[in-house]
Chains A and B, each alone.
Chain A
């Protein structure tokens, strides 16, 4: 097997980090803190010399007027700008420089907003983008305080400003007084007006100009990124609501109709159970014993196909010496080949295909074959349940089996397009298998591939929730990832293989594939944006609002999961683990879908990824003890 692709994770994580920085900078630059005057050093000017220092701009309304006044008066001044405002009005910043005035920095978002060095870096980056230069003038020198401008007429302001006979006069170019006061000052005889410094802007290097362009773009366009995020969340929310409505409508209706339908006479055909097994030494005894201990009313033969195990799986099955159990051995050829070998050896026309890590209840076989009383039914999906529910990971998977897989199956049963008869517990009519050429090894999800093929061949796939089987779920995150990666990748393979169904009249194309694309591909790809935006809300924007949205989202999902548990006849107790599922488990499932898609694009050949067994299934609820 070639290594599975991994480099995309670097790209995805970096891209997400960049996007988070973009929206965060956009939000940060949009907030204007209270200005704080810079307590600068005294600028040593000759007597009769004044420097005019403008603050608050560049302002689209007042700065052009100020510049006109200064030009008319023939005076050069110094403009202490803020970085965020330069990004908003780069042309005005360029005009300030073009007309011979000096540019200094007051801060990033407001005067004195230099609290962290990063703010100064961002402000200099804004200058680099607009002016191709950095300034050494950071914060104005000590200025003549002529009083608060809103309460002064120009004549008084001029008189008070000139009283010290020299110094830096503080003016504003985001109000009327600045330009007019400058003109009046310039007309006063006997004084010279200069810039705070004649030092030109320091030319910037290419990487500084690039950084300036990037931060400027982020400040201007962060809103667009937020809109894109919002749209993704909107689509994800719509899909989520749609799925909830389908649950409430179809699954509930499906369940109700089952209850109201008059039970047909008990159907008891002879059954062959095929158990493909590869290195299942820990579970095979419990699995085979549970199947052999069935209470089905007709003959049940069990065929264990040992697919070249190296851990003695075949020997363990043989040593059980159970009546009706046959063990076949073959070199390791994969699960589809093992299934086909078992099917060929089977004597009966109703075939139950079951994984070797699964425990049946005594009536599972009997329940599973009931839908075959209807000749249209070609396959039946049973109700796979997590047997090892101990620990948080087991509980999460139990919740997912009920709220995810089984509920999906109820919805899709109502739509007559179940895409997967689970490998853990499913039954097929031999004729249906013959129609599609047996079990194919075209995909890693042979169960989905087979079910889709059977449906496309015109046969109905039924769901029998009463046919319960207890399966061993992975006990580590790594094991869970490997299992779901195979499932997800295999499902995408099957979807692609059967894409022709979209052009057919059957329910698989109309509903089944569309359902899988919407809820198993699109939703997991869009939903992570919700997590990102919640993080953004917590750390950058409105934390209480983010908490509220997240809580509402969680409550809806928890209620939906509770409903699924009720439909499945399960206790609501494990629901306490559901909120925790949102933190690690859900993200792992998203990662699985992304990894599967990238693997598909790369064309990497994946092998069957086995999961470490613990053999703890013997204690699964609903099972009979293995003696």
Chain B
């Protein structure tokens, strides 16, 4: 088994969840702030 490789898949699922959460959180954050400012603009 190669070093770092996640045999069970648990780490990969957890990392993917974190990744999706962070990305979607940032997208939502950006959309709200930019949308509000641009809307007022």
Contacts and interface: CB of A to CB of B under 8 A. Distances in A.
A603 B26 contact: no
Interface string B10-24: 011001100110110
A461 interface: no
B40 A602 contact: no
Contacts of B15: 5, 601-603
Interface stretch (A7-15, A53-61, A252-260, A416-424): A7-15
Given A11-B19, A493-B3, A603 B12 contact: yes
A17 B31 CA distance: 13
A124 interface: yes
A604 B32 contact: no
B1 to A, nearest CB: 8
B16 A211 contact: no
Contacts of A8: 19, 22-23
A120 B1 CA distance: 59
A602 B16 contact: yes
Contacts of A606: 2
B2 A11 contact: no
A593 to B, nearest CB: 15
A117 B41 CA distance: 5
Contacts of B33: 210-211, 214-215
A138 to B, nearest CB: 11
Contacts of B23: 7-8, 10-11, 14
Contacts of B30: 14, 17-18
A493 B4 contact: yes
A441 interface: yes
A207 interface: yes
B20 A124 contact: no
How big is the A interface, by class?
35 or more
B21 to A, nearest CB: 10
B6 A602 contact: yes
A184 interface: no
A381 B32 CA distance: 55
A365 interface: no
Given A7-B19, A11-B22, A602-B16, A121 B4 contact: no
Contacts of B1: 442
Nearest to B30: A14
A18 B32 contact: no
A235 interface: no
Interface in A594-608: 599-606
A599 B6 CA distance: 11
Given A11-B22, A11-B23, A605 B2 contact: yes
Contact of B11 (A118, A124, A443, A602): A602
Contacts of B41: 116-118, 120-121
A122 B37 contact: yes
Contacts of A14: 23, 26-27, 30
A526 interface: no
A125 interface: yes
A493 B26 contact: no
Interface string A150-185: 000000000000000000000000000000000000
Contacts of A116: 41
Interface in A493-511: 493-494, 496-497
Nearest to B26: A14
A125 B22 contact: no
A436 B12 CA distance: 31
A281 to B, nearest CB: 28
B5 to A, nearest CB: 5
Contacts of A110: none
A603 B32 CA distance: 33
A494 B4 CA distance: 10
B26 A604 contact: no
A350 interface: no
A603 B36 contact: no
A601 B18 CA distance: 11
A302 interface: no
A214 B35 CA distance: 13
Given A10-B26, A602-B12, A603-B15, A207 B36 contact: yes
A385 B19 CA distance: 39
Contacts of B20: 7
Contacts of B35: 207
B37 A121 contact: yes
Contacts of A441: 2
A271 interface: no
B27 to A, nearest CB: 7
A8 B41 CA distance: 31
A289 B1 CA distance: 36
A120 B40 CA distance: 8
B38 to A, nearest CB: 8
A15 B36 contact: no
Contacts of A493: 2-4
A117 B2 contact: no
A276 B37 CA distance: 60
Nearest to A210: B32
A208 interface: yes
A96 interface: no
Contacts of B32: 207, 210-211
A11 B36 CA distance: 21
Contacts of A497: 3
A539 B14 CA distance: 39
B27 A125 contact: no
Interface in A81-140: 116-118, 120-122, 124-125
5 contacts: A11-B26, A121-B40, A122-B37, A443-B3, A603-B12
Given A18-B26, A207-B32, A603-B4, 12 more contacts: A7-B16, A11-B26, A121-B41, A124-B40, A125-B36, A211-B33, A215-B33, A442-B3, A496-B4, A602-B19, A603-B11, A606-B2
